[in-house]
Amino acid sequence: MYDAVADPYCYPGTAILKNILGLRDQAALEEFETASTTQRADEPLPSGRLSVTHYCALHHHLFQDVYAWAGKFRTVRISKDGSAFCYPEYIQREMSALFTDLKARYYFQDLPQHEFVREATHFLATLNAIHPFREGNGRTQTVFLALVADHAGHPLDIRRLEPEAFLDAMIESFHGDERFLLQQLQYLVAGQ
């Protein structure tokens, strides 16, 4: 659960995100969100140029049945376990800089596997620190990274992803240590 102050995304007096179905029970919302996003992930994904706009379209695609704000950057400050993510007033700037750099690096194409993994690790760690959406960042990051990996010729074997270990690696990268995340991505790429 994210920490947020005076969060207009939540029903008053709760930490439950306002949702299209009007669910006010956290467990029911999580169940619906998981079912909905899993179904949407199995559908053809929006095409795009691996840009900020494409990234937002992916989030919208995954969460369109759950949240009215799907695909839109958050407008509130959030943190998790006391660690603050990028302030909303800087999200657009930071996303533009990150994706401009991705384009300048030719989306990590034509890199040997170990260099691709290193570049992708840093990209993913930075994207996670920005955390542009109120909810659904991790799932969108994973889908987007799989697209980048396919485009670069280093497809990920997502079936090998171990959610708890991957989340721990993301947390470590948020605190500046990308080694564990690098190992996780090496494992996913090596599965090919």
- Among candidate residues 144, 147, 152, the one with its CA nearest the CA of residue 117: 152
Looking at the predicted structure, is the pLDDT value of residue 11 above 80?
A: yes
76 close to 114: Cβ distance less than 8 angstroms = no
| Placement of tokens 């302030």 in the chain | 87
What is the CATH classification number for the domain harbouring 146?
1.10.3290.10
Q: CA 57 → CA 3, 8, 143, 151, 184, distances in Å? A: 25, 22, 12, 18, 26
For a pLDDT cut of 90, what percent of the chain falls above it? 93
**129-164 confidence digits (pLDDT tens):** 999 999 999 999 999 999 999 999 999 999 999 999
How many domains does the structure of the chain reveal? 1
Distance CA 68, CA 60 (A): 9
Q: Which domain holds residue 14?
A: 3-190
Distance CA 68, CA 41 (A): 18
pTM value > 0.75: yes
Distance CA 152, CA 146 (A): 10
**86-137 confidence digits (pLDDT tens):** 999 999 999 999 999 999 999 999 999 999 999 999 999 999 999 999 999 9
3-state DSSP helix/strand/coil percent for the chain, to nearest 5? 55, 5, 40
**37-86 confidence digits (pLDDT tens):** 999 999 999 999 999 999 999 999 999 999 999 999 999 999 988 889 99
